[in-house]
Amino acid sequence: MTETLFLTSEDVAGLASPAEYVAAVREGYRQRGEGASAEPRSKFFRADPEGMFTSYAAILPDTGAMGGYMYSAGFGAGDAWFMTPLFDADSGEPLALLDGASMNPFKTGAAGAVGVDELAREDAETLAIVGSGAQARGQLRATATVREFTDVRVYSPTPDHREAFAEAFDSELEADVRPVSSSADALAGADVVITATKASEPVFDGDDLEPGTHVTAMGQYSKDKRELDTTTIERATYVPDLRERATFDAGSFLAALEAGVVSEDDIHAELGEVVAGNASGRMDDEEITVFDSGGTGIETVAAAYMLYEKALEEGLGTEISFAPASEALTGD
């Protein structure tokens, strides 16, 4: 038998700062850029009751951990459930099982922040956010650790949501955070644009992007949905989290591919290749860049292992027992 640490969502909440998530996720993507294994998500759907089950995984050899996410959404409960199993990359023994719900916006936000840090201009100070939910909050908190923003505009189609979002962050950040009434108003003069929505159609006009803008899009991990229009993809240097995912479920890139405005050769590099220095990031101040962040096991394993180590230091969690196959598969 081996003892495995079970961490509840309460154990995980507040255990690490946004900057700590960003550092861990950056290291995870560096390893990916040097050859660490990761695959796009697998998705399974059911119609009655309607629901989705999905998973993705990665091995981070330098961290010494492997694992990923498994989660369900919908079905009879009409809710979502996130589980994160974490294993030792050398022995294969289970290290931890995390209730991954509370860490989700932080680890996803950290991936977006790494994309901003690698691809946005160094002097970026104006940020546009399209979306006002938990993922938008996670993106802002993480991205604010890699650039010193002075002006943040948030657009959501629901006025109450964008106003509440702006009010909360205006007191939390040093930047001036304010709601605006359209995505075009948010984009005007923006150095960085973040989209964090559940939209099925593009949330802004690519012609509104000014030269030198960076875009991080994190709500487009279905071939039938897209936050970015074909103009944005055509104008930009395109960097996905995983190259294979770009032609698997990256809806915006797939739409541009189908429209004939780009080809697979227009995938500049994976984020990990840029982080590891094996591909160029931004090449000039006029370049438009896109980081397509659909969710991978890279940020999940990196963040989960960081949380696991911090939980050990603070004595958090509950030990549960797992039997190795040599003991359990006895045939008796």
The residues that bridge with 2 in the sheet, in sequence order, are 322
Of 23, 94, 41, the C-alpha closest to 65 is: 94
- Is it the case that residue 76 has pLDDT exceeding 70? yes
Q: For residues 68 and 38, is the Cβ–Cβ distance under 8 A?
A: no
Tell me the mean pLDDT in the region 295-319.
Answer: 97
Task: Give 81-107 pLDDT, tens digit per residue.
Answer: 999 999 999 999 999 999 999 999 999
Output the pLDDT for position 332.
Answer: 56
pLDDT at 225: 86
What tens digit of pLDDT does each residue of 158-201 get? 999 999 999 999 999 999 999 999 999 999 999 999 999 988 89
Q: Which two tokens stand for residue 331?
A: 């045939």
Beta-strand ranges (E) seen in 16-106 are: 42-47, 50-60, 65-74, 79-88, 94-99
What is the per-residue pLDDT for 296?
95
Measured between alpha carbons, how far is residue 208 from residues 48, 205, 260 in Å? 41, 6, 21
Bridge partner list, 55: 42, 70
Asked whether 94 and 325 are in contact (CB, 8 A), the reply is no
**pLDDT category of residue 3 using cuts at 50, 70 and 90:** very high
The CA-atom distances, in angstroms, between 228 and each of 52, 164, 206, 287 are 24, 25, 7, 17
Q: pLDDT averaged over the chain?
A: 95
Q: What is the mean pLDDT of residues 319-325?
A: 91
Q: How far is CA 123 from the centre of its chain?
A: 23
Considering the chain, what percentage of its residues have pLDDT values greater than 70?
A: 99
* pLDDT confidence of residue 331: 56
The CA distances from residue 219 to 70, 97, 184, 223, in Å, are 18, 26, 19, 11
* Preceding peptide of 40 cis, ω within 30°: no
Cα–Cα distance, 242 to 239 (Å, whole number): 8
Q: How far apart are CA 213 and CA 175, in angstroms?
A: 19
Asked if residue 12 lies in contact with residue 99, where contact means CB atoms within 8 angstroms, the answer is yes
Q: Tell me the pLDDT tens digit for each residue of 235-287.
A: 999 999 999 999 999 999 999 999 999 999 999 999 999 999 999 999 999 99
The lowest-confidence range among 14-18, 147-151, 224-228 is 224-228
Domains, the chain, with CATH or none:
2-104+297-328 (3.30.1780.10), 112-292 (3.40.50.720)
Burial class, 123, CB count within 10 angstroms (exposed 0-12 / middle 13-18 / buried 19+):
exposed
Contact partners, residue 49, CB within 8 Å, separation at least 6:
74, 75, 76
Sheet architecture: strand order including 42-47 = 42-47, 50-60, 65-74, 79-88, 94-99, 2-7, 318-322
Return the structure tokens found at 290: 């896109």
